[in-house]
Chain A
């Protein structure tokens, strides 16, 4: 036996004189590391209750539960975590769409009540709520792409002298890539006035099942080609993805589905071959979005529907108010022709109140829906605005569509900073480019640059097309010389609303400018024309703020058979009109079939 090997191990006795290395827990506090994955925290004001954390949790430790406080673009739910199931993987933190969720580095928690360990972080206050340390989503690390897939468009040079559609549409790869970014939370659906099945149709794109996509679109929106191009996309302003990155291009994805389905196949795809007639008739005044939407859903229910349209073609403001480069006519026709193919009749060039009275319609039809829209231009009323070379934007936009001849001057001033103002500004710029090879249009808005009511892309694109868009100026006077305007005097506008939020522009008369122009276009909003309703009839209706007729949730007025919707009631925008028309169709069905309820 090797004696050395017998004795050497005993050198370990040398440790007797050393201090122990153990930590005396719980007497010595040992904080978790800075990244420790401890107990959950949720910044409740940031969280939107999208439920993505719930979806990713493989342990099903998260349930979304209702809470009392909620905000716009918020489901009103918050994640409740069950520590009987959680494994502290923090996938929920990494995927959180708002970065509201995190883990503190706290890891001891004693309670005698097992129920305590199911809690709503941020709502049920905990000691570690203000603990800054713990796991957060790492930087430069995402579970989905934050960047929107760009849609190809015509360059400013290509488009500046033409009304050809500017946005080229998504390819299949682009659409699928964009659809992939959606977390399917449905926050958008709640905000969309028509409550479209957005996550569902986006899923259909991912699955490349565009027929299913079309069916989902038509469940709530019979004008997808149109909405897919010009919808005000309120959904995108609340989209969960917009909190950390770009919101999903919901509008373009809708357009993609509609674009990819050929109109010849619509009836087959949408399974509308054998509609059962109900033997009842409904009249619709105006073929704008609300009228068309009502007509579509009523026709599906088996009603005989007839639309009365004042102008030569259907579509209302969608055709006569939106320039072709944003919404080509053939796309409007695709949506409308399909609705007409369901048996909806339409009579053009007929004015209610003149050619046929509203009362007469009420007698001839079982119900009447009116969606006559806002077609009257508003005037600023400033000196010179009564000159005949001062135009209202709806008139000019309509003339362009109708092909009516009018003088395109070398210099134009547009008063207004909304989307309609941008439409007329950019349309006039195109006409000038065709005629003179150069552009001189100045749009002048009361609002400051950051608060311009027009969509940002409209402003950016307008400027790319050489339009001048001046924000923060108030029009004072149109200078007239020899019966023709020479330009617009403006003064600096510093604020629009007073401390109580009332419209009360504050101007500085010392800072002034003169924008030259021989044509002045006022585009400061539109009004409704209810002259087709007789005074006697009006006494049966109830009027609310801004001269709007009061209706119930189904858009039924004080007169049982008379329903109203669209811009004259809500909005103004296309999607509210579509939603109103749909709801009114349901309301009319309920009214005409009391036995069903």
Chain B
């Protein structure tokens, strides 16, 4: 097994630029030793419209700077001009890959400040939709990590099953990508007839999918030799940088809001998030593989334990005039990328006073990525980035 590679100042740096007093490389482009290239904002290896300004020496990256702003649509500001219920269609666009977490955190904030008790049934259904959302993300992300090393086959297999999960979303919520299912007060529908059986049937496909990707990816000498030791995150960095989710669990720190601050009905489910200490791209992929298996298990538990019937929505004031007293809250949940939260302020009017989204991508894609890319081979840029699962729309709210 290859040793994890940690960038240290002690290495021979004769090829590299000198560092200034702040530890920043002094790059003289006229020296012909360095080239600046841009990866993104339309690079297929970039997880969305984001751009990396890379300074390379040979094929090694000596400096990286993340540039965002290509996707900025002022969502947080727009939400200040929306009635609470009108925030929903906008909020789901804050993170396209996993819109349900937005639906949840914003509804939860509104309910908390507006003093609304969500019915039991709706809580189970919310949990189901959140886990289904995680599932469809991981079905692409786990094999997608191999895709960044040009092994696209697993990604195709995962996409197929993901499409079937999106079919289930379509049945449950009426939408494939933007579900608009969780709404302040509850959810927008019970399980359709036969939904449970159909979903359970699809989960079996994932049981078969795991050994297949194990063979294809995790028992693959190419994947292993490229991913092991790559972009190592030492355990201390987890707190230093504010690293969440699989990225923190890959470095030996167990962080999962579902465990630390159980919300909805997570305290009634039996699960233990996977933790490993290797800290590299391989470890993070392993964590996500374990998450995928755990998500399937959680969905089975939810379908088994949830009540058959019940109210789907609490009575709220008329949504057209719903004013929420002055207050503030931080509402969070565990997304596939880690803790996903929203700071929400109300001022007694019918619209939010301030909304501030806090997702893991902000730190992961800026401070952390800048650091991890130094010394990396340019061919590994996409792999490193994907291993952090950054979501640019979430950065550019």
Which residues does A use to contact B, with CB under 8 Å? 1-2, 4-6, 8-9, 11-12, 21, 32-37, 52, 55-56, 58-59, 87-91, 94-95, 103, 135, 138, 140-145, 180-184, 206
Q: A58-B89, A89-B180, A138-B312 are in contact. Are A34 and B320 (CB under 8 A)?
A: no
Task: Let me know if A12 and B219 touch, CB within 8 A.
Answer: no
Task: Let me know if B188 and A141 touch, CB within 8 A.
Answer: yes
Task: Let me know if B178 and A141 touch, CB within 8 A.
Answer: no
B160 in the interface (beta carbon within 8 A):
yes
- The CA of A140 and the CA of B187, in the complex, are separated in Å by 11
Interface bits B175-212 vs A (CB < 8 Å: 1, else 0): 10010100000101110100000000000000000001
Q: Among A9, A59, A206, point to the contact of B215 (Cβ < 8 A).
A: A9
Task: Let me know if B312 and A35 touch, CB within 8 A.
Answer: no
Q: Among B85, B186, B220, point to the contact of A9 (Cβ < 8 A).
A: B220
Residues of A within 8 A of B77 (CB): none
Which residues does B use to contact A, with CB under 8 Å? 82-83, 85-86, 88-90, 151, 153, 160, 167, 170-175, 178, 180, 186, 188-190, 192, 212, 215-217, 219-222, 224, 311-313, 315-321
Residues of B within 8 A of A34 (CB): 171, 192
Whose C-beta in chain A lies nearest to the C-beta of B170?
A: A33
Task: Let me know if A145 and B90 touch, CB within 8 A.
Answer: no
Whose C-beta in chain A lies nearest to the C-beta of B225?
A: A1
Q: How far is the CB of A198 from chain B (nearest CB, A)?
A: 15
Interface CB pairs A-B, < 8 A, 18: A5-B224, A8-B215, A11-B216, A33-B167, A35-B170, A37-B174, A56-B83, A56-B319, A56-B320, A58-B89, A88-B175, A89-B88, A91-B85, A138-B190, A140-B312, A141-B186, A144-B318, A206-B321
Task: Let me know if A4 and B219 touch, CB within 8 A.
Answer: yes
Task: Let me know if A138 and B188 touch, CB within 8 A.
Answer: yes
Q: A9-B215, A140-B313 are in contact. Are A35 and B88 (CB under 8 A)?
A: no
- The CA of A88 and the CA of B173, in the complex, are separated in Å by 12
Residues of A within 8 A of B171 (CB): 33-35
Task: Let me know if A141 and B82 touch, CB within 8 A.
Answer: no
Residues of B within 8 A of A37 (CB): 174-175, 180
Residues of B within 8 A of A103 (CB): 174
Q: Is the interface of B mostly helix, strand, loop or mixed?
A: loop
Residues of B within 8 A of A144 (CB): 317-320
Q: How far is the CB of B193 from chain A (nearest CB, A)?
A: 9
Residues of B within 8 A of A35 (CB): 170-174, 189, 192
Scoring B90, B172, B312, B321 by chain A CB atoms within 10 A of each residue's CB, the highest score goes to: B321
Residues of B within 8 A of A90 (CB): 174, 180
User: 10 nearest interchain CB pairs?
Assistant: A58-B86, A144-B318, A89-B89, A5-B221, A37-B174, A35-B174, A33-B170, A8-B219, A143-B319, A33-B171
Q: Among A9, A58, A138, A143, point to the contact of B189 (Cβ < 8 A).
A: A138
Whose C-beta in chain B lies nearest to the C-beta of A138?
A: B189
Q: How far is the CB of A286 from chain B (nearest CB, A)?
A: 42
Task: Let me know if B220 and A58 touch, CB within 8 A.
Answer: no
Residues of A within 8 A of B321 (CB): 180, 206
- The CA of A56 and the CA of B180, in the complex, are separated in Å by 15
Q: How far is the CB of B90 from chain A (nearest CB, A)?
A: 7
- The CA of A182 and the CA of B82, in the complex, are separated in Å by 19
Task: Let me know if A87 and B221 touch, CB within 8 A.
Answer: no
- The CA of A34 and the CA of B170, in the complex, are separated in Å by 9
Q: A143-B318, A143-B319 are in contact. Are A12 and B175 (CB under 8 A)?
A: no
